[in-house]
Structure 1
């Protein structure tokens, strides 16, 4: 398994640098009027393509190979879709006096998202974990997230912030048509497209990231037009960073020691550590653009952007440490 790029450890991921650049560009030159309508159509098409490629990249053979390790998958899914949401609700209940409500809603939405796929598998491989189980856990988390995240958002986010309500029937239709349908079509196309995608992983990755960047620019443009920076202060941004670090530290510590207490092998504990602690930017940004009004998209995805970078840096360091020690971190 190839190691993540060095910038993950040495500094900011270039992808995050581009993303921050687009946030600045949107702050200075937001898309408006007819251009905004056009961008919305282009963004919808990019999201469709993104999830088609997600489906086409999912290997049935790799998933079947890891299915037998059901205890690992069950703990990863419980962490992702039960423990994380409970943490999100706790943050909303306890930090309302210190953090803007829209940002707290962003943290709750972050906690409802599925795990990442690529980085979870890569870090598991670097650390010497059970790669087949990681492929299965991360893929299953992403697949279930297409359905579970909107359901959880509808159940838990109603009334958590101004303009953020439950998931409407229109949003359900959009989720089905823009996320689930292309994912299924992409996976069904794998007998014909799988070889091409496997041979051109670099370019496919660029298409993935370009789609996310497009959604980020469109989302922040809409939020800037609605007065985002008049609602979010420097203190709020610092609070987002501190809370994101705290949540990640809690999850990393909990998954590692609870999995040890439950008697999992070292290789399986590594899977639970990395697959259970991650949240997917690739799924989260498109989902947010469908589920929430444009006026709150910026603050909704801001915690996710911060958490994404922190999780990459932290997990890269942990994976290398586990690799060097060739044993558990105590």
Structure 2
């Protein structure tokens, strides 16, 4: 059917005219714009989302985190998750890159980062390295590139669950070198309580609410993203009120962008090399590349809120993952489109 559709598309004069005109420009991602607006609102109105503000971040943050993962649980297909479990070589590649290669690379870069960035930005860069993979965008781009979607679903979900333990564990390694002590047990308990438990509740309620959530998936995703924007806003408010940003130079922010790009391409090359050495099928390789090179903003913001608490520098710590998120979406969108077109040409 896919081949027939591809043949029909190539024979259609309308399709031919569109190809001659070149690629169609995509509309700007409103979520990207929304994060910029949230940061600007924090600069203009920091008191509302800072500690003691009328938004009551000490309460709304945990409630927002729980809502995000409850909605993820409602939308997560257990059938797709089960279908991807048998491809264990791909799981080893993805999880190894996410929780071994990335953090070790981050540790190796720490001496260089300390020389040019503030301690908060250094911690933020390593936080990116320690985070789990994305779920929705990894699956969507794997589907676009005609990769193994069940494998992507399985790995993205598995990564989120493993990250509940390994992400704070890696962070505790770095904070210990600076003389800070991360209450690891309390942090993991909080992550389980506000992330894993709501996800499990969402899964348990799928027989009752799953069909409703799928019918209104666009609205569910909208609610999910709006909550993330609220968390981004509250994360930046305390930083602005305490004037944490006043000592940061534009060159440091540019350095964060270049570092994020370097980390992404290093992971991309590492995953692709291992997949080729293991002679994985092309569909599995595509899923591994997207899942193994990406880092989650959707879970990263809530995790930062729970791991680092109400530290005034939370906005700075989150900046690298916000930058990395935009870069990975841009590069992976180009890759997914290119691979999909190449596969269609061979049908």
Same fold (TM over 0.5): yes
Structure 2 Cα separation of the partners of residues 64 and 259 of structure 1:
22
Q: Which residue of 1 aligns with 2:22?
A: none
Q: Secondary structure at the match of 2:46?
A: coil
Q: Which residue of 2 aligns with 1:4?
A: none
Shift of 1:150: 2.2
1:303/1:11 CA distance change after superposition, 3 Å:
farther
Decide which structure has the larger Cα Rg and report it.
2
Matched, 1:17 2:33: yes
1:159/1:16 CA distance change after superposition, 3 Å:
farther
Shift of 1:36: 5.5
Shift of 1:319: 0.8
Structure 1 portions without partners, runs of 5+: 2-8
Q: After TM superposition, list the pairs within 5 Å mapping 1:79-94 onto structure 2.
A: 79-94=97-112
Q: Secondary structure at the match of 2:298?
A: helix
Deviations 1:279-323 (A, max 9, x none): 010110001011114212111110000000000000000111111
Worse-superposed segment, 311-320 or 195-204: 195-204
Shift of 1:143: 2.1
Matched, 1:104 2:159: no
Structure 1 Cα separation of the partners of residues 177 and 27 of structure 2:
38
Q: Which residue of 2 aligns with 1:196?
A: 212
- Length, aligned pairs only: 319
Within the candidate set 313, 320, 332, 1:296 is matched to 313
Matched, 1:219 2:235: yes
Shift of 1:235: 1.1
Q: Which residue of 2 aligns with 1:283?
A: 299
Q: Which residue of 2 aligns with 1:322?
A: 339
Shift of 1:33: 5.7
Contact 1:43 1:211 in 2 (8 A): no
Worse-superposed segment, 242-251 or 147-156: 147-156
Q: Which residue of 1 aligns with 2:72?
A: 54
Aligned-residue CA RMSD (Å):
2.1
Contact 1:123 1:274 in 2 (8 A): yes
Structure 1 Cα separation of the partners of residues 324 and 253 of structure 2:
12
- TM-score with structure 1 setting the length: 0.91
- TM-score with structure 2 setting the length: 0.86
Shift of 1:11: 7.2
Shift of 1:115: 0.7
Matched, 1:157 2:175: yes
Q: Secondary structure at the match of 1:294?
A: coil
Structure 2 Cα separation of the partners of residues 191 and 324 of structure 1:
37
Contact 2:239 2:314 in 1 (8 A): yes
Structure 1 Cα separation of the partners of residues 313 and 227 of structure 2:
20
Contact 1:12 1:309 in 2 (8 A): no
Q: Which residue of 2 aligns with 1:6?
A: none
Q: After TM superposition, list the pairs within 5 Å mapping 1:1-330 onto structure 2.
A: 10=26, 12-31=28-47, 32=50, 34-35=52-53, 38-160=56-178, 165-292=181-308, 293-326=310-343
Structure 1 Cα separation of the partners of residues 239 and 260 of structure 2:
22
Structure 2 Cα separation of the partners of residues 74 and 33 of structure 1:
41
Shift of 1:40: 2.7
Structure 2 Cα separation of the partners of residues 217 and 295 of structure 1:
13
Q: Secondary structure at the match of 1:246?
A: helix
Shift of 1:39: 3.1
